[in-house]
A and B are shown apart, each in its own frame.
Chain A
Amino acid sequence: MTTVALFGVPFKFLTWQTGLLLGAIAVPSLLLLYFLKLRRQERTVSSTLLWQKAIHDLQVNAPFQKLRKNLLLLLQLLILAAVLFGLSTPVANLLQGPKENIVLLIDRSASMKVVEADGRSRLEHAKEAAEGFVDNLPDESRAMVISFADRAGLECRFTNNRHRLISAIQGIEATDAVSNIGESLQLAVAYSSQLIEDAGLTTPQAASIGSAGLQLYSDGRITDADQIVLMRGTLNLHKLGKASDNVGIVAFDVRPNLERPGELSVFAQIENFGPDPIKTDVSIRLDGRLLEGSGAIKELSLGGARPADEGPDPSRPTGLSSAENVIFKLIHDSAGIVEVRIHRKDALAADNVARAPIDAPRRLRVLVVTKRSRVKWILQRALSALTVDDVEWMSPDEYENAPDEKISSEGRSNFDLVIFDAHSTDRLAPGNYLFFGAVPKVDGFGMGEMIEDQRMVNWLDDHPLIRPAELHNVMIFKWRRMTLPNHAEILVEGEDSAIIVFASDPGHRYLMTAFDLLESDIALKVPFMIIFQNAVRYMAGGGLTESRGILSPGQTLTIPVPPGANEVRITAPGGVEETISVMGSHSVTYAKTQQAGIYRFEFDDAHDTTDVFAANILNPTESRVAPVEKLVLTAGTPIEIIDADTQVNEPLWPYAAAVALLILLFEWWVYNKRMMI
């Protein structure tokens, strides 16, 4: 029994075995020393005759008479008791006593990189608090460590080895990813209830019926908090951080300027999350060099942010908005990295930069397979409006009979886009294909009966292939019912059938219309031009948005492997290099994108294909660095919020040491008083 209540405060001994062991050695030793090594003061007496007799009388039947009523020995025993009490690491339980199975959840999302007033990051504070918690765990408690950002990381399974727990905590590194706690809660509950080990359940099953004592070290800025239900167990939030001053880029995009070919518009939304209005400069750089001209640096004035947890505050001056959009113009003739940077020192540095790779303007090669002159005329006009440099025309027969080297080389299509008009084929080298009124001869695709007198009822107006076309006025008179594989994405649909569909498999991308181009008036209207341009740019790699290489930290990348490549060298932010073998695979998947910055994939194929991606935080939840006042989950157990500076256990050993010192002083006084008599 190591927990007892004293004056209403439960306290316990963390290492009571140590105290007991030392006590078993020290108390008899003290008594032995007391008998053997007592320093006595000499007194001369006339004769020891009567004293010897008195001692003899007392000792005959009372061997421990010496110990009786001996204040000095009693005091020394008290000192020893106080020291042993201290060595047993007694603590007063100021917080709810930890359960036997504790899960430490440590947030390592971008907001935990915030540097506090003492120069240390929130994650360092979290690690320190978690280490303190582990240090104060009773011997019989087990703990596990889970770190989380966008994904959960199991740092240390359940153990009572504190050394392992602490080294697992120390090994946690901050990321730039968003914080999603759902997966880690599932893991925590499932593991702590031992259902995985004992009952052999899967993690979600175990999570639904288990319970756990969870200790969450975070600033509470958790993106998916409103989707989490914690039905069982307890969750204590150890709230970290005080800093709130931060300005960040929350949205970022690079688009071609439709009016002025060759020019890019770089769009960024800057938001101030601090309470005070600020002024800051925002600059644009290409490959690290500031652009020439006066438009490269813009000054922004932003108002103070309204605390997210409060309602509108009418007393607050409403003059300045806390968020502003900035648009830069950029003309380029080669590939590179465009970077927008806020020139301000604030709590979180990682969200002050947003980057995007841009490709060099390239010559597009398009093959059109049609035998109908009206269609040829329509497409010729459409392609001439785009910056397509090289258009080749074939009839379906010519296409089917053409030699392979004309169609493809090195296992890949020779064209950036192949357009089929009412022609279905299976001669599809890896590449991009646009079918009007047809589907590829590939498993899962097929054309059925004709559908007439139906209307378009829905379209994905935010899809890159549709946006910003407005299809209200488009008439499609009839189309065929398409049979589609599961992964196909319906962009436009009629009452009970798909009209425009996008599908992809490794190496191929298909955009298909169920209608014949001549059975619609779409070819005569603006939306056709928009969708056609989107299709050419997006599918042919020219890019509908130039910022196609932008991703969120933690997002998994799947990149097509160019023909002939055996391995890919990946350079992550900070210059970390890694080489992965890609021999025989069509795509490479990469998930280690937790840090914001540039990820470069260099394949060793004949063209030295290089793909570049930029990970940017672009997340208002992470940029709003002020810690939450309360954390509300959707349902379930209420969360107790603990200031991380609060100690879980109040160590009592200093008090024991003070008592020992006081008794020592008292003993000294008693000793001297006696000697003075």
Chain B
Amino acid sequence: MAETVELGGSGPGPGPGGDGLLDPDFMQRLEQLEIISRKIYASRQKGERRSKRKGESAEFADYRNYVVGDDLRHIDWNIYARLDRLYLKLFLEEEDLNITVLLDVSKSMDVGEPSKALYAKRVAAAMAYIGLCNYDRVNLYAYNDAIANHVSGLRSRKMLPKVIQFLEETPIQGKSHFAAAARQFASRHTQKGIVLVLSDFLDKGGFDQGLRYLLGRQFDIYVLQTLSPQEVTPELAGDLKLVDCEDEDVAEITVSKTLLDRYKANLEAYCESLRSYCSQRGINYLLATTDHPFETLVLNYLRQRGLLR
């Protein structure tokens, strides 16, 4: 499957999945899936998911005593005939689920081969498609040092072109500042639901502050850290002047095995600290390198992690 994915857009012309973001076969497989939230949220609109509230679905939930003001249509007249008392018949409410993808579009996402930005966008597209297929509310937020662009409240698969358009048209630019963006997002996005953060988390401002804002809103948070193979195993040699693509900070290095070992150890420690932070706070964390086929990521790993079913 992975071989059929055109990362650079040199494949067949734009289809429903956009230019290389999703291909039809994969979309067909995505339609079988649905996104699972570990939490049950109340929503404002009827959907296909069980709500905390009792509502008007066909599924019986409970009885309660009638109080003045209740809808007379929900009184169980059979009980009243037998017991001469008024009971109200309660049914389960089915509501929709808010699925929000928080996509890092800072410049660092564009460094490396295969591109982290494209990889993240494809994951975002897949998640959005799954959500749309299940009549969930899909929201997409692109951020760098603030929310750069967003599209929200998408339902039904008819909205897929909008998703694709959003992903394709959002430029990769700017410095990343996850904390600022998360704070802005948390204040703007008040609906509960699943939040999937797609980022490399190579942010000099750190990740904990941003995640804390999201935790404060009680979202069901999933973190997918994407790194390019060059970041995991740098193929550098000689005397180099490393320039940060975002803030043009410079690091002069003379590559040696010691230095490379030290870098790898640092990266490992950084990823471990992120994973540890997430697990302690009930956040689901997953690390993916872009040389790993994203179809496998979506169909296998995300399912194993319980985000999909």
- Give me the interface of A with B, judged by CB distance under 8 Å: 38-55, 57-58, 65-66, 68-70, 72, 671, 674-675, 677
Q: Are B238 and A41 in contact (CB under 8 A)?
A: yes
Q: Main SS of the interface on chain B?
A: mixed
B239, A45: Cβ atoms closer than 8 Å:
no
Give 24 CB contacts A-B under 8 Å: A40-B240, A41-B241, A42-B240, A42-B241, A44-B111, A45-B242, A45-B243, A45-B244, A45-B245, A46-B108, A46-B245, A47-B202, A47-B244, A48-B243, A50-B266, A50-B267, A54-B266, A55-B251, A58-B262, A68-B256, A72-B239, A674-B237, A677-B235, A677-B237
User: Does chain A have a CB within 8 A of B253?
Assistant: yes
Sorted nearest first, the 10 A-B pairs with minimum C-beta distance are A47-B202, A46-B108, A674-B238, A46-B111, A40-B241, A54-B262, A674-B237, A48-B251, A51-B251, A48-B244
Docked-complex contact A50 and B242, CB < 8 angstroms: no
Task: Contacts A41-B238, A41-B240 given; indicate if A48 touches B249 (C-beta within 8 A).
Answer: yes
B135 to chain A, nearest CB (A): 37
**Which residues of chain A are near B200, meaning CB under 8 Å?**
46-47
Distance A51 CA – B250 CA, assembled complex (angstroms): 10
**Complex formed: what's the CA distance from A50 to B243 in Å?**
12
In contact, B254 and A53 (Cβ under 8 angstroms): no
Residue of B nearest to A676 (CB): B237
Chain A residues in 8 Å Cβ range of B259: 54-55, 58
Q: A48-B251, A65-B258, A70-B256 are in contact. Are A43 and B266 (CB under 8 A)?
A: no
Residue of A nearest to B234 (CB): A45
Q: Please tell me which one of the listed residues A44, A54, A674, A677 contacts residue B263 in the complex, with CB atoms under 8 A apart.
A: A54
Evaluate whether A671 and B238 lie within 8 angstroms (CB atoms) in the complex, with A45-B245, A49-B204, A57-B266 already known. yes
Q: List, in ascending order, chain A residues with CB within 8 A of B266's CB.
A: 50, 53-54, 57
> B231 interface residue, CB < 8 Å from A?
yes
* B224-274, CB < 8 A from A: 228, 231, 235-246, 249-254, 256-259, 262-263, 266-267, 270
Flag if A43 contacts B242 (CB, 8 Å): yes
Q: How far is the CA of A40 from the CA of B267 in the complex (A)?
A: 24
User: Which residues of the other chain, B, contact A51 by a CB distance below 8 angstroms?
Assistant: 242, 251, 253, 263
Contact of B112 with A by CB under 8 A? yes
With both chains docked as a complex, state the minimum distance between the C-beta of B232 and any C-beta of chain A, in angstroms: 11
In the complex, chain B residues whose CB is within 8 Å of the CB of A57: 262, 266
Residues of B within 8 Å of A48, CB to CB, are: 242-244, 249-251
> Which one, A40, A45, A671, A674, contacts B252 given CB within 8 A?
A40
Beyond the given A43-B242, A44-B243, A70-B256, please list 13 additional residue pairs across the A-B interface where CB-CB is below 8 A: A42-B240, A42-B243, A43-B236, A45-B231, A46-B200, A46-B245, A47-B108, A47-B246, A54-B266, A55-B253, A65-B258, A674-B238, A677-B235
Complex: chain B residue closest to A53, CB-CB: B266
Determine the distance from Cα of A444 to Cα of B251 in the docked complex, in whole angstroms: 111
Are B270 and A50 in contact, CB atoms less than 8 angstroms apart?
yes
Chain B residues within an 8 Å CB radius of A44: 111, 242-243, 245
From B111, B112, B243, B259, residue with most partner A Cβ within 10 Å = B259
The answer to whether A43 touches B240, judged by C-beta atoms less than 8 angstroms apart, is yes
User: Given the complex of chains A and B, what is the CA–CA distance between A482 and B87 in angstroms?
Assistant: 188
Return A422 CB to nearest CB of chain B, in Å: 117
Report how far A47 CA is from B178 CA in the complex, Å: 14
- Bound complex: CA A55 to CA B253 (Å): 7
Cβ–Cβ contact A58 & B258, under 8 A: yes
* A66 to B244 Cα, complex, angstroms: 21
B267: A residues at CB distance < 8 A: 50
**Chain B nearest Cβ from A647, distance in angstroms:** 44
The answer to whether A40 touches B256 (Cβ under 8 A) is no
Chain B min CB distance to A146 (Å): 61
Contact, CB under 8 Å: B238 / A675: yes
Residue in B112, B116, B231, B241 whose Cβ sees the most chain A Cβ within 10 Å: B241
Residues in chain B near residue A69, CB distance under 8 A: 256-258
Q: Which residues of the other chain, B, contact A675 by a CB distance below 8 angstroms? A: 237-238
The residues of B that contact A52 with a CB separation of less than 8 Å are 249, 251
Closest to B112 in A: A46
Q: Which residues of B contact A677 (CB under 8 A)?
A: 235-237
- Interchain CA distance A52-B267 in the complex, whole Å: 12
Q: Which chain B residues border A40 with CB–CB below 8 Å?
A: 238-241, 252
Give B288-299 as 1s and 0s: 1 = Cβ < 8 Å from A's Cβ atoms: 000000000000
A234 to chain B, nearest CB (A): 57
Measured between beta carbons, the chain A residues less than 8 angstroms from B240 are 40-43
A68's nearest neighbour on chain B, judged by CB, is B256
CB distance from B260 to the nearest CB of A (A): 8
Residue of B nearest to A73 (CB): B254
Residues of chain A within 8 A of B243, CB atoms compared = 42-45, 48
Give bound CA distance, A168 to B116, whole Å.
82
A-contacting residues, B196-226, CB 8 Å? 200, 202-204
Closest to A62 in B: B258
Query: Please, which residue of chain A has its CB at the minimum distance from the CB of B176?
Result: A47
Residue among B112, B237, B238, B250 facing the most chain A CB atoms (10 A cut-off): B238
- CB A414 to nearest CB in B, in angstroms, measures 108
Residues of chain B within 8 A of A47, CB atoms compared: 108, 200, 202-204, 244-246
Question: What's the minimum C-beta distance from A582 to chain B, rounded to whole angstroms?
Answer: 87
Q: How far is the CB of A32 from chain B (nearest CB, A)?
A: 16
**Cβ of A42: which chain B residues have Cβ within 8 Å of it?**
240-243
- Nearest A residue to B249 via CB reads A48
Minimum CB–CB distance for B31 against chain A, Å: 34
Which residues on B sit within 8 Å (CB–CB) of A46? 108-109, 111-112, 116, 200, 202, 228, 231, 244-246
Closest beta carbon of chain B to A38's beta carbon, Å: 5
Minimum CB–CB distance from B43 to chain A (whole Å) comes to 38
Bound complex: CA of A52 vs CA of B241, how far in Å?
Answer: 12
Kindly state the separation between the CA atoms of A65 and B255 in the bound complex, as whole angstroms: 11
Report the minimal beta-carbon distance from A54 to chain B, rounded to whole angstroms. 4
Point out which of B202, B231, B254 has the most chain A C-beta atoms below 10 A from its C-beta: B254
Contacts of A54 in B (CB 8 A): 259, 262-263, 266
Interchain CA distance A49-B238 in the complex, whole Å: 20
Residues of B near A58 (CB, < 8 A) are 258-259, 262
Q: For the complex, what is the distance from the CA of A448 to the CA of B19, rounded to whole Å? A: 150
